Structure 1
Amino acid sequence: MSGVMVRKARPGDGEGCARAWRDAGRHYAAIVPEVVQEPDPEGLVEWFEQSIGESPGDDTVCLVAEDDGRVIGVIEATVIRPAPDARWQLQRDLSRVRLVINALAVVAEYRRQGVGTALMEAAEEWGRDEGAEVAVTDTNLSSPLSVPFYEKRMAYRRQGIILRKTLRSK
């Protein structure tokens, strides 16, 4: 997509962010309904507007992809700096500045057109500018959309497995 522009989110972007978020919710809820729900539309735009209006701090960024003035995707990323005890940790990455991709959502009709790639590349560039040496994210292994995107398109490697168990009351 040649007309897509990526920029920092600003007030007024909530509606487009909410549309992308709900589309992502529908996609994942259909695959793993025990883990993902479609977000409630009531108050969702306002929730995004409030989040955009708040100052996230220097270590978090919210970017949007825009096409012809319409927000069609959103990404949130955080830079995590090494903890003081990093030298005693087992995982080497805990001693590095890490870019964590917290969330990525693209409006359904714009998927597989380069919007997610543009958002990821912009977030990675922001992370590099903030000193990040490595980028991490997670996704659901059952997703035929995001797993190939991260592994094939964005060159992320599987590093671990998140294990989940529903606990029932006795």
Structure 2
Amino acid sequence: MASFGGHVLQDPHSVSNWFRDSIQSQIESPNHLFLVVELNVSPSQLIGILEASVIELHSVFLPKSSLHIHAIYVVPEHRRSGVARSLMEAAFKWGQDKGCTEADLNVLRNSPAKLLYEGLGFEDFQVEMRRKL
């Protein structure tokens, strides 16, 4: 992955260190979820991942828990085979068990994954705008 959200990633070593440190603390959190899908071959082959967490509204609002999908990725040769849908449905179940009443995610306007999300019931909600300074 050379970029994420249109932003170029740092060198692989820096990215690896950041992920290691970040994931370690998130794994220990009861409100953070990591799912993986592996092919049952030898050696096993990772084909999909999902990261999500329970997000609470700021305390000035009435309490509400949302499931935020941070990332989902399926290797290209296994896309359109139901892997992403299965990951999302498992995350929805986990979020419901945690008391979440809605799910949200961010997607680039022209991402092919937008069709998947719409098929799962997601709707356009908010537009993020940006300009160069």
In 2, Cα distance between equivalents of 1:110 and 1:49:
26
1:45 positional shift:
5.3
1:136 positional shift:
0.5
Equivalent in the alignment of 1:76: 51
Greater RCO, CA 8 A, separation 6+: 1
Alignment of 1:123-142 (within 5 A): 123-142=91-110
In 2, Cα distance between equivalents of 1:157 and 1:164:
21
1:166 positional shift:
2.0
In 1, Cα distance between equivalents of 2:32 and 2:7:
24
Once the two structures are superposed, what CA deviation does each residue of 1:115-144 show, in whole Å capped at 9, x if it has no partner?
11111111111111110000001100111x
Name the CA shift for 1:73/1:51 in 2 (closer, same or farther; >3 Å): farther
Structure with the larger strand share: 2
Equivalent in the alignment of 1:151: 118
Alignment of 1:95-106 (within 5 A): 95-106=63-74
In 2, Cα distance between equivalents of 1:82 and 1:49:
27
Alignment of 1:80-99 (within 5 A): 80-87=55-62, 95-99=63-67
Alignment counterpart, residue 162 of structure 1, candidates 124, 128, 131: 128
Equivalent in the alignment of 1:58: 30
TM-score by length of 2: 0.81
Unpaired segments ≥5 residues, structure 1: 1-21, 88-94
What is the identity percentage for the equivalent residue pairs of Structure 1 and Structure 2?
Answer: 31
1:41 positional shift:
3.9
Contact 2:9 2:15 in 1 (8 A): no
SS at match of 2:8: coil
Name the CA shift for 1:123/1:50 in 2 (closer, same or farther; >3 Å): same
In 1, Cα distance between equivalents of 2:82 and 2:92:
15
The answer on 1:36 being equivalent to 2:10 is no
In 1, Cα distance between equivalents of 2:9 and 2:78:
19
Q: Give me the CA root mean square deviation.
A: 2.3
In 2, Cα distance between equivalents of 1:63 and 1:86:
30
Contact 2:48 2:73 in 1 (8 A): yes
Equivalenced residue count is: 129
Name the CA shift for 1:96/1:61 in 2 (closer, same or farther; >3 Å): same
